[in-house]
Amino acid sequence: MKLIVGLGNPGAKYAGTRHNVGFDVVDYLAASPAVGPFRSQFQAVIAEATEAGQKVLFAKPDTFMNLSGRAVRQIVDFYKLTIDDLLIISDDFNLPLGKLRVRAKGSHGGQNGLRNIQEQLGSDAYPRLRIGVGQPSEGDAVDFVLSKFKPGEKAAVHDAIASAATAAMIWLRLGIGPCMNAANCGTDAKPEKKKPKEVKPREPKPGTPANDTPSKDS
């Protein structure tokens, strides 16, 4: 069994905020007809599916962001999962808007949901997928992550949510390594700049003066 947890805050008040992109990715995945309806359990709402012959749980904690680890710990303990069976999806204001970053382990980076999960699990060695929500230019970071995306940011956010959902499916099917390669390289890669080909002057045809200009029909 695998568990994908999207982080966010429950309630209509927080829908569409930067802190809720983890919820948005889980909702995107759960929109598939192969996924069952959400039900309330383990201080979360959970939906089930079967992917590549294994059971998958999609979860959104109801505990608010700062206590996300409570729900994660209950689900992990009940189903006797290892932390390698877990993927956490969260926002990150240290990443540029729309950028993805997948790691197999690491610090919480100041993200309070990840901090609480680390405390509850007693380890930072769990896979996580972070989505850049832009950086606050001034003011309180809490106010920033609880703000909604601006109209000019929404297209990039929608693309990032779809890309994160794809990365989560790669993790389900192939594991953390291919997921990291796809998400990290895919978002970091820049188009290769090709050198312009050297254009050699055409040799004049025999009997044609070299300074003749070809007509439009030639």
Residues annotated as part of the active site: 19
Nearest 5°: phi and psi at 56?
-130, 135
CA distance 58 to 30: 7
Nearest 5°: phi and psi at 6?
-100, 135
Sheet holding 86-92, edge to edge: 39-41, 44-51, 54-61, 2-6, 86-92, 128-132, 100-103
> What is the distance in angstroms between the CA of the first residue and the CA of the last residue of the chain?
68
